[in-house]
Amino acid sequence: MITRLDERLAGLQAMWTAVGMGVFALTLVVVKKARDLAIYRYTAMVLGLGLLLLPMVPGFGREVNGSRIWVGIGDASFQPGEFAKVVLAVFFAGYLVEKRELLATSTRKLGPIFLPDPRHFGPVLLAWGVSLVVMIMQKDLGSSLLFFALFIVMLWVATVRATYLGLGIGLFGIGAWFSYRSFGHVRARVTTWLDPWKDPLDSGYQVLQAAFMMAAGGIAGTGLGQSGEVSTFPAKETDFIFAFIAEELGLLGATIILLTFVLMVGSGLRIAVRSTYPFDKLLATGLSTLVGLQAFIIMAGVTRLLPLTGVTLPFVSYGGSSLVANYAIVALLLRISDESIRTPAVLRREAAMARSRQRVKQGRRRKGSATGVIDVSAGVDG
């Protein structure tokens, strides 16, 4: 699809695909056991927050299409937030494995609700604060929602407490209301979402054209190469590539893309369920959540279920940073899956070896006992 939309970008995407495959292989070589990453959880926190806030550093950050999410070094540029999501997932998994018992213990009562010690809410409030900083300073609604939702989901899974899920939804609502009232770029996105016809030739143009394109696609689509909006449509190879897929391949093609992500996320969660170690379970859950949430946020934005946020559609949209980061995610999931298969086999093999050693010892003991009896009998006969 990218080849048809922009041949120049197709060549770059092919190059980034090769780089992503290299990172995929390198991740499998370097990370022998995913649970070993838990040792570096606080290093991952510092690195992740540093990557997330790097575009705000003067001289490095670049603003593109109204969002300051790019970092430029010479002629090259990349989105550090794409790599921050993977690193922060490692931190969240390591931190929650370490603190989950404290976070799951109720020591306070607020009406009918039992709550843990208030000081343990610090990480929740920190994640909320960082997500607001990203939304306010970088004008990046998608990454803000993605990071906060990632932490809340992992916290909920780690503690099995709906209180945290409710708290997260409440904090998100407060943050969204505050941002809508206080910041023009947030208000503009929401206004366009609610009524794109207010400005159909400017702010509402992409959303309206995407709706017309998906309607024109019908069930089976207009056919590959039959879209008439290629030359005039902004961000066609990134934010709105799903609209072109829906037009040219129809509802069937769009459904196949959707089901592909459902299967990908379902496989990741199955890996999490099969994993033996708590860190592996949480990390697999977090990485699967990242892929699923990111795909949902952008597809929901294109179809007007949510305000358009500008994240990429994993493995589909153009973007080198996103592609490389997602290959790293798949590699980590494969490593965790390999461990989940190997661990029961190793345990069974060790148990079998232990039983074999026990049988050998019992055989030697019986042989020694029998030899002792013969010796005693020989002494009596003499």
Q: Encoding tokens for residue 179?
A: 């941002």
Other beta carbons within 10 Å of 364: 10
Average pLDDT over residues 147-163: 85
Q: Give the C-alpha separation, 236 to 206, whole Å.
A: 9
Higher pLDDT, 58 or 3: 58
Mean pLDDT of 80-104: 86
* pLDDT at residue 368 in the model: 63
- The answer to whether residues 203 and 195 touch, using CB atoms and an 8 Å cutoff, is no
The band of 30, judged by pLDDT with boundaries at 50, 70 and 90, is: very high
> How high does pLDDT run on average in the chain?
82
Which tokens is 288 given?
Answer: 């699967």
SS (H, E, C) the chain: CHHHHCHHHHHHHHHHHHHHHHHHHHHHHHCCCHHHHHHHHHHHHHHHHHHHHHHHCCCCEEEECCEEEEEEECCEEECHHHHHHHHHHHHHHHHHHHHHHHHHCCCEEECCEEECCHHHHHHHHHHHHHHHHHHHHCCCHHHHHHHHHHHHHHHHHHHCCHHHHHHHHHHHHHHHHHHHHHCHHHHHHHHHHHCHHHCCCCCCHHHHHHHHHHHHHCCCCCCCCCCCCCCCCCCCCCCCHHHHHHHHHHHHHHHHHHHHHHHHHHHHHHHHHHCCCHHHHHHHHHHHHHHHHHHHHHHHHHCCCCCCCCCCCCCCCCCHHHHHHHHHHHHHHHHHHHHHHHHHHHHHHHHHHHHHHHHHHHHHHHHHHHHHHHHHHHHHHC
183 contact partners, CB below 8 Å, separation of at least 6: 135, 136
Mean pLDDT of all residues in 89-109: 80
Q: Which of 115, 138, 177 is nearest to 53 (CA)?
A: 138
Residue 291 pLDDT: 94
C-alpha Rg value of the chain to the nearest Å: 27
Highest mean pLDDT among 201-210, 292-301, 346-355, 373-382: 292-301
Residue 114 is predicted with a pLDDT of: 64
Lowest mean pLDDT among 15-29, 169-183, 269-283: 169-183
Weakest-pLDDT range from 215-219, 230-234, 239-243, 378-382: 378-382
pLDDT reading at 349 higher than 70 = no
pLDDT band at 379 (very low <50, low <70, confident <90, very high): very low
Please, which pLDDT band fits residue 109 given cuts at 50, 70 and 90? low
Neighbours of 239 (CB within 10 A): 23
How do strand 113-115 and strand 108-110 relate by DSSP bridges? antiparallel
Distance CA 18, CA 23 (A): 9
Encode pLDDT of 66-86 as tens digits.
677 778 777 677 888 889 889
- The dihedral over CA atoms of 25, 27, 30, 36, expressed in degrees to the nearest 10, equals -150
Rounded to the nearest angstrom, the gap between the alpha carbon of residue 133 and the centroid of all alpha carbons in its chain is 20
- Calpha distance 67→238 (Å, rounded): 14
* Pairing mode of beta strands 67-73, 61-64: antiparallel
What is residue 327's predicted lDDT score, i.e. its pLDDT? 95
Q: What is the mean pLDDT of residues 76-104?
A: 85
